[in-house]
Structure 1
Amino acid sequence: MADPVARDRMVAGAADMIRRRGLNATSVRELAKHASAPLGSTYHYFPGGKQQLAAEAVTFTGDHIARLLTEYLRPGPIEGLRSFLALWRKVVESSDFRAGCPVLAVSVEDLPDGESAPHQAAATAFAQWTALLAASLREHGAGEAAAESTATLIVAAAEGAIAMSRAERSTTPMDRVAAQLESLVRAVTTPAQGG
């Protein structure tokens, strides 16, 4: 009989390992061990193997961040931006710069031919976050084009800042990106002044 708790634990464990090591440096055996699950159960729950597990881990992360982002954006885009970036700062700092975003980790890795599910899951997650940010920006006065391009820039800049912070072992890139993004969000959501 299937145990959904064990399956969910494997997906969450895979997301954790991928955010620390990347997909190609992580084996199914290691994923099972990390989730305290028998290796055979991994193939039982994920007959598509590592690629299926990775895609589900990315989807899990994407959905989790989307739920948080929805809450963060309730007061408005500035507050949402601050909370979104603070979340990633906490991930990076609490892992001593060893962990980042599993969505980014999967999206930049080469995958075997015909194994596109993890990349598709990453694209879906990024699109989901971008859509939430764009909607908040539009609700607070940004035009359609500005909302879309600013939301894309927020996601891309946040992911890049995470990678740079890990490489530099410093949150300075995140701090600089946060300041610039906040200025941009203020600019696109401020109604034009009459004169």
Structure 2
Amino acid sequence: MAKASTPSRERIVAGAADLISRRGLNAASIRELAKHAHAPLGSTYHYFPGGKRQVATEAVEFAGEAVSRRLRKELVEGPVEGLRAFLGLWRGIVVDSDFRAGCPVLAVSVEEPPEGEETPELAAAAKAFAEWQALLADSLLAHGVDAETAADLAVLIVASVEGATAMCRAARSELPLDRVERQLEAAILRVLPSA
């Protein structure tokens, strides 16, 4: 949850990301988003005249960029280190929340949008996933992996970690992330030319 010392708008966005990661988007009203962020409802409407859609979109963008920042930092050390950081991030969120929170990007992605609508929050989720994949693929490329294998492995990493995060929540156990970590690390080591 957002800290009370952060600016109100930022607190609302961070709080929305946290609430969506716990309940999903469709189960959270604008009133609940404001309450979860410890922000006045009037401030929420002031900062987000587009309502719940706008808050949700910015929450997904916020979460996506937070993960991207972490990946950029850790991938400097190499793809295995980046993978470990990616897994560590989600492990921390799942365990620290007592298996109540997961990924807000995934939460928005699995909810059905209104029929025939292309929603901005779903577009933000697709963008976040694509950026994480690109960062991982670029790191693999920089370490001598061919472009197609790098792209395939990046998709595998993101899909596996996101799925394992959801499985951890359901099982109330870190075991899915532990198993995925072993297999993904082995997959990376198999394709690295110097490994």
Q: Give the alignment's TM-score, normalised by structure 2.
A: 0.93
Match of 1:188 among 171, 182, 191: 191
The root-mean-square deviation of aligned C-alpha atoms, in Å, is 1.4
% identical equivalent positions: 61
Q: Which amino acid aligns with 2:90?
A: W
> SS in structure 2 opposite 1:37?
coil
Match of 2:17 among 15, 18, 21: 15
> SS in structure 1 opposite 2:150?
helix
> SS in structure 2 opposite 1:175?
helix
Q: Counterparts of 1:182 and 1:37 in 2: how far apart (Å)?
A: 42
Q: Any conservation in 1 of the 2:24–2:108 contact (CA below 8 Å)?
A: yes
Q: Counterparts of 2:193 and 2:176 in 1: how far apart (Å)?
A: 26
- What's the offset of the Cα at 1:112? 2.4
Query: Are 1:128 and 2:131 an aligned pair?
Result: yes
Query: Are 1:51 and 2:53 an aligned pair?
Result: yes
**2:3 matched to which residue of 1?**
none
Which structure 1 residue ranges, 5 or more long, are not aligned? none
Instruction: Point out the more displaced range, 31-40 or 53-62.
Output: 31-40
Q: Counterparts of 1:175 and 1:32 in 2: how far apart (Å)?
A: 35
> SS in structure 1 opposite 2:7?
helix
> SS in structure 2 opposite 1:136?
helix
**1:98 matched to which residue of 2?**
100
- What's the offset of the Cα at 1:115? 5.5
Q: Which amino acid aligns with 2:68?
A: A
**Cα deviation 1:24-59 (Å, max 9, x = unaligned):** 111100111112222122111111111111010000
**2:42 matched to which residue of 1?**
40
Q: Give the aligned length.
A: 189
**2:141 matched to which residue of 1?**
138
- What's the offset of the Cα at 1:191? 5.1
Which structure 2 residue ranges, 5 or more long, are not aligned? 1-5
- What's the offset of the Cα at 1:5? 2.0
Q: Counterparts of 1:129 and 1:94 in 2: how far apart (Å)?
A: 23
**2:66 matched to which residue of 1?**
64
Match of 1:78 among 58, 71, 80: 80
Deviation >6 Å, runs of 4+: none
Equivalences for residues 106-185 of structure 1 within 5 A: 106-113=108-115, 114=117, 116-185=119-188
Q: Which amino acid aligns with 2:124?
A: A
Q: Any conservation in 1 of the 2:70–2:85 contact (CA below 8 Å)?
A: no
Q: Counterparts of 1:169 and 1:141 in 2: how far apart (Å)?
A: 38
Structure with max Cα Rg: 1
**Cα deviation 1:165-186 (Å, max 9, x = unaligned):** 1101111111111101001101
- What's the offset of the Cα at 1:111? 2.2
